[in-house]
């Protein structure tokens, strides 16, 4: 079904999609109380900007980090747009394959890969980055049984420090990820590991994501590139032919402005790691949040309102189950909230500080505290922008709340909005089938 609307500004575009969703019954009081939306046109524009930021002369695979949005139709759309896929579990590998990615387009990263998972990845030809010396020993045993077409490397921790969100910083002195380059003896041990294993042809690093400044990320990448050069000098040939630089471009959650851009990120890489652009190396990137976050939003109905201690509270159907990080770490993961009426139109009126609460059965289930918005009423809709990654796509099954439907949206030149299903609404815990009937 198609609804005709007009306008191009980001906030206006959200309202267009929202109003069309209400008109088409994708949001409806009593039945469709919460839904996620992915702007597929926006996704295409973002992926195009990513491809353009890196020189066309370089052999580059942009592998989308599946954990950011693991919905198979979304992954299939990204594949259609020319991306690869980075996976961090056997489940994500299954989703990537279901989405149609060829094994050579998939990169498997995880600090806890099992022997069975490694065997499967190597039999398929999926790229693997070993996270530890013990994992290298497992790869030795598997490869002793026969060769693999997989690109194989080691994840190194450049130990360049943390950003403003410790949980998102993976290149600290004590991070659980990778082999720490600066720990005593590790550099020589790694150099020997590469010399003894000619099939180790990649170096991988990932400094972190939200909260990590670009200079920090670029300095970490520079240390990985320097180590690749050191390996090649140590073995006397160009054994390392590829560098996986991870992802981590932070997202602006304060406004609709997309900043920093991929071009800004590349400029920092050129400054700190010029050898990366020499053409001597293939490159893999692993962006996730920066590809999807600003191209998605969720919308939920206000079920009740009340005033407690003089403060208005709106009880909505969006809470910890779809905004887990924001609810449990609001200072690190604040989200904007927009107020709309029952038809999806932006509400007008004097801003009033109010709490925006979710449906979960604990007191801290709040999307926002004392947020100044036009006073919300029963039946209104709240819109939460910038949630296309890590929010509605991977719900938290608290209170056995159902997973919300997710819809892809496209806006035609004439302003018409067309939706396509990305995930149906479904129960978190389907009713069991009883033997012998009821």
Nearest to 362 by CA among 305, 389, 324: 324
63 forms bridges with which residues in the sheet? 84
CB atoms closer than 10 angstroms to residue 198: 10
408 forms bridges with which residues in the sheet? 38, 420
Please say whether the beta carbons of 85 and 105 come within 8 A. yes
- Helix extents (H) in 330-424: none
d(CA 383, CA 380) in angstroms, rounded, equals 10
Please say whether the beta carbons of 129 and 109 come within 8 A. yes
Q: Catalytic one among 70, 212, 360, 361? A: 361
Please say whether the beta carbons of 100 and 77 come within 8 A. no
d(CA 405, CA 360) in angstroms, rounded, equals 18
d(CA 354, CA 334) in angstroms, rounded, equals 15
* 361 has catalytic annotation: yes
State the pairing for strand pair 311-316/351-357.
parallel
H and E: helices and strands count for the chain: 11, 19
d(CA 219, CA 418) in angstroms, rounded, equals 43
Please say whether the beta carbons of 43 and 82 come within 8 A. no
State the pairing for strand pair 84-87/127-130.
unpaired
Nearest to 369 by CA among 310, 436, 412, 313: 313
Please say whether the beta carbons of 249 and 287 come within 8 A. yes
Please say whether the beta carbons of 323 and 367 come within 8 A. yes
CB atoms closer than 10 angstroms to residue 203: 28
Q: What residues are annotated to the active site? A: 361
């Amino acid at each position: 079904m198609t609804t005709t609307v007009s306008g191009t500004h980001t906030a206006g575009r959200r309202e267009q999609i929202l109003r069309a969703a209400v008109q088409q019954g994708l949001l409806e009081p009593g039945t469709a109380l919460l839904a996620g939306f992915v702007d597929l046109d926006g996704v295409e524009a973002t992926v195009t900007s990513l491809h353009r930021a890196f020189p066309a002369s370089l052999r580059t695979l942009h592998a989308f980090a599946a954990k950011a949005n693991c919905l198979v139709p979304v992954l299939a759309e990204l594949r259609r747009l020319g991306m690869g896929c980075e996976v961090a579990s056997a489940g994500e590998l299954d989703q990537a394959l279901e989405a149609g990615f060829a094994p050579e387009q998939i990169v498997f990263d995880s600090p806890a890969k099992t022997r069975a998972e490694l065997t499967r990845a190597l039999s398929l030809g999926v790229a693997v980055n070993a996270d530890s010396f013990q994992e290298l020993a497992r790869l030795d045993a598997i490869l002793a049984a026969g060769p693999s077409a997989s690109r194989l490397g080691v994840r190194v921790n450049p130990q360049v420090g943390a950003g403003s969100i410790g949980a998102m910083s993976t290149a600290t002195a004590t991070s659980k990820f990778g082999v720490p380059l600066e720990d005593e003896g590790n550099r020589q041990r790694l150099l020997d590991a590469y010399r003894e294993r000619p099939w180790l042809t990649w170096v991988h690093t990932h400094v972190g994501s939200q909260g990590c400044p670009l200079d920090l990320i670029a300095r970490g990448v520079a240390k990985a590139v320097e180590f690749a050069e050191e390996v090649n000098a140590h073995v006397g040939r160009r054994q390392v032919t590829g560098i996986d630089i991870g992802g981590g471009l932070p997202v602006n959650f304060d406004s609709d402005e997309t900043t920093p851009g991929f071009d800004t990120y590349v400029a920092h890489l050129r400054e700190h790691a010029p050898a990366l652009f020499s053409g001597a190396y293939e490159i893999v990137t692993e962006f996730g949040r920066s590809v999807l976050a600003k191209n998605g939003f969720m919308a939920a109905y206000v079920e009740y309102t009340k005033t407690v201690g003089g403060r208005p509270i709106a009880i909505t159907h969006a809470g910890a189950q779809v905004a887990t990080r924001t609810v449990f770490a609001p200072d690190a993961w604040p989200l904007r909230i927009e107020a709309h009426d029952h038809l999806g139109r932006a509400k007008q009126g004097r801003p009033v500080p109010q709490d925006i609460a979710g449906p979960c059965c604990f007191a801290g289930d709040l999307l926002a505290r004392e947020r100044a918005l036009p006073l919300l009423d029963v039946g209104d809709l709240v819109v939460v922008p910038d949630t296309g990654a890590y929010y509605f796509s991977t719900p938290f099954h608290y209170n056995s709340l159902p997973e919300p439907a997710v819809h892809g949206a496209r806006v035609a030149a004439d302003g018409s909005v067309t939706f396509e299903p990305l995930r149906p609404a479904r129960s978190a815990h389907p009713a069991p089938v009883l033997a012998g009937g009821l």
